[in-house]
Amino acid sequence: MTHHHTHRGTYMPARVDAFRPADLTAEQRELYDRLLDSARATGSRPFPLADEEGRLRGPFNGMLLSPELGNALQELGTVVRYGTGFTPRQKELAILAVAAHERSEYEWAVHSHAGLKVGLTEEQIAAVRAGADCRLDDPLEATVLAAARELAASGDLTDDSFTEATGTLGLTRLYELVTLVGYYRMVADQLRVLRVTD
């Protein structure tokens, strides 16, 4: 079921022009400022959120199309990234599993960089991308990666995988993982449909 990935590796022009700050409505401007403030507050982004003309990059420009929905999404994104019980390494492994499965080059570029910053090795990151065996000493990290891969691929967990994940991570952490994977799958869809490459 990879029919929607057929454009991998070919450049497709963006379907939606990035908004210029001067052209924003008051509602859009409020969200725009909130997104930039949030990026400045976290300060760990590998790539700037806006280009030299102030236009938002990645999934953030799309949020301006529907500011109320976009604001709810950016708030969810903040909690998914900073408000769960996962370690930074666990979180990046899960996001990379989604980016690899979705073949989302934007997500991959941002989160492979973030993964290196939190201590994942080039080899581990390459293994996640290839869907290959990834050597992880921490059983919690191995469980997060296995469950995230299965969720990304099928949107579900088998009974065995569910038992393994809840036994290792606990039910709260598994719920957070399902939500994190779902969020990044949705963002990958938005990037794909809008043809966002950077």
Give yes or no: residues 103 and 186 share one domain. yes
Give yes or no: residues 94 and 182 share one domain. yes
**72 inside domain:** yes
Mean of pLDDT over the chain = 91
Instruction: Give the residue from 67, 82, 97 where a domain finishes.
Output: 82
Give yes or no: residues 50 and 106 share one domain. no
Q: Whole-prediction pTM value? A: 0.89
The confidence band for 92, taking pLDDT boundaries of 50, 70 and 90, is very high
Instruction: Give the residue from 30, 47, 82 where a domain finishes.
Output: 82
Give yes or no: residues 114 and 174 share one domain. yes
Give yes or no: residues 154 and 107 share one domain. yes
Total number of domains constituting the chain: 2
Q: Taking a C-beta distance cutoff of 8 angstroms, is the pair 71, 38 a contact?
A: no
Print the domain residue range for 41. 21-82
For the stretch 106-144, pLDDT in tens is: 999 999 999 999 999 999 999 999 999 999 999 999 999
Give yes or no: residues 74 and 96 share one domain. no
Whole-number pLDDT of residue 47: 75
Whether the predicted pLDDT of 82 surpasses 60: yes
**5 inside domain:** no
Instruction: Give the residue from 33, 49, 82 where a domain finishes.
Output: 82
For the stretch 25-74, pLDDT in tens is: 999 999 999 999 887 766 656 678 899 999 999 999 999 999 999 999 99
**142 inside domain:** yes
The confidence band for 167, taking pLDDT boundaries of 50, 70 and 90, is very high
**152 inside domain:** yes
Q: What is the CATH number of the domain that holds 110?
A: 1.20.1290.10
SS (H, E, C) 66-128: CHHHHHHHHHHHHHHHHCCCCCHHHHHHHHHHHHHHHCCHHHHHHHHHHHHHCCCCHHHHHHH
